[in-house]
Amino acid sequence: MMKHWKRLSHAEQDRRITAALEQNIDFRSQLSLGIPASRLDGQVFQESAPFLKDAPLLRTYVQNPNHIGCHTLGESEPFFAGTQALEQEVIAILGEDLLHAEAGGCDGYVASGGTEANMQAAWMYRNLFLHQYGAQHGEIALLSSTDTHYSVAKAANLLHLRWLQVPVAHTTRELQEAALVQIIQQAMATGIRYFIVFANMATTMFGSVDNPDVYANALRQAGAEFRMHVDGAFGGFIYPVSTPDNKLDFRNPDVSSVTLDAHKMLQAPYGTGIFLCRKDLMHHVYTEEAQYVAGMDITLSGSRSGANAIAVWMILATYGPFGYLEKINKLLYRTNWCCRALDALGIAYYRHPRMNIITLEAKGVPATVASQFGLVPDTHTGQPNWYKIVVMEHVEIEHLEAFVAAVQESAV
Ligand SMILES: Cc1ncc(COP(=O)(O)O)c(C=O)c1O
């Protein structure tokens, strides 16, 4: 049962967004001498354009609200309270209805992307270990699989932490438990005592999903302290929908935070990564020096467009939970179709049964066919081992059929 996620007509969405914009500051009629912000430049973005009347998102862009900070805790800049409230709704829908946090149990914000949301998590847990456990930097490590997105490598580099990579099995892409145990033992022998785990809710190249219990059990057995973040940048808008009974949301007490990217599966504009975490964690990244901004500075990015939150809110409201489930089922249907066709040809591939990625062994696909159909290789330097197909909205069965036929022809 959804508490917050409801389908709304276009007219209702327009009414809600118009009301939100009216609650925000209107630079034309309200005196505001101090804030370094205004509407978009009227010479370029003309407000009288007739199409704006029926386009609440474009009107939001023109009004240009700044959603600096995090609006689920403490105070926020009062000038943009109307649209900030819609961002709060987005966080409640995703945290509570999609990822099953308890009522009011989630903080979060619309970040620039999955990279930022993953960094926010690593930064938050590093500081938690420093503050709560008196840890030294050298005692904290990031831990994830070799299939993990490179944003975790970036986070390790920026935060000056070690990154430990756990190998996965070639055909199942599952974490290799024995190797994990050894990696933890070796790390602890060299002084690592605190682990920040990145569990994948669908990896970039394979769409494979990590079992978080494998990490939790190994770390508990080793007597190590850990916190776990789920990287759902790609799979976060598909896996929880296709697999309602899963271990990677807030029902699992080991999961403390999640990245989702609306600008991938939700087809939102870029700049809509979403960071979600349990209450009582964000304050670990509070910047005391940010005194002139109302509210706490606890996000990696500073100023950010409120229009991005509105875009996500509109997509969620347009589909509603059932419409969105149908959309995901359509993509899975197409993915199933393609897998059956590949099976009939005996072409080897990896596919998680609840995900929309098919990753083919490169030896089964001639490079010319891969390039003709725009498949993405696992490496751009040297010989690829894998090519992936991501079944997005624009990838239809006709396209998949043509691809399978081209593979078949190349084999004769
Ligand atoms: C699993 C995963 N995490 C993080 C990211 C980074 O997301 P962004 O490009 O939005 O920063 C990606 C991007 O492909 C991803 O697939």
Question: From ligand 1's centre to the CA of 112, what distance in Å?
Answer: 11
Q: What is the pLDDT along the chain (412 residues), one digit of tens a residue?
A: 799 999 999 999 999 999 999 999 988 888 778 878 888 999 998 888 888 988 999 999 999 999 999 999 987 778 899 999 999 999 999 999 999 999 999 999 999 999 999 999 999 999 999 999 999 999 999 999 999 999 999 999 999 999 999 999 999 999 999 999 999 999 999 999 999 999 999 999 999 999 999 999 999 999 999 999 999 999 999 999 999 999 999 999 999 999 999 999 999 999 999 999 999 999 999 887 767 666 778 999 999 999 999 999 999 999 999 999 999 999 999 999 999 999 999 999 999 999 999 999 999 999 999 999 999 999 988 899 999 999 999 999 999 999 999 999 987 6
273 touches ligand 1 (CB under 6 Å): yes
pTM (2 decimals)? 0.96
Domain that holds residue 360: 320-411
Distance CA 133, CA 117 (A): 24
254 touches ligand 1 (CB under 6 Å): no
271 touches ligand 1 (CB under 6 Å): no
Distance CA 88, CA 101 (A): 14
Indicate the number of domains in the chain: 2
Please report where in the chains the tokens 């996500």 appear, as a residue: 312
* Both structure tokens of 238: 């598909």
User: CB-based contacts of 392: which residues, under 8 Å, 6+ apart?
Assistant: 265, 267, 331, 356
| Residue 45 covered by a domain | no
- Picking from 318, 353, 380, the residue at the C-terminal end of a domain is 318
Site to probe by mutation for ligand 1, drawn from 115, 267, 308 as the one with most ligand atoms within 8 Å of Cβ, is: 115
Which CATH number characterizes residue 292's domain? 3.40.640.10
206 touches ligand 1 (CB under 6 Å): no
Residue nearest to atom 14 of ligand 1 (CA): 204
Nearest to 214 by CA among 244, 243, 247: 247
Closest ligand 1 atom to the C-alpha of 261?
Answer: 10
Question: From ligand 1's centre to the CA of 150, what distance in Å?
Answer: 8
285 and 151, same domain (yes or no)? yes
Asked if 339 contacts 187 with a C-beta cutoff of 8 angstroms, the reply is no
364 and 295, same domain (yes or no)? no
115 touches ligand 1 (CB under 6 Å): yes
The CB density around residue 58, as the number of other CB atoms within 10 Å, is 15
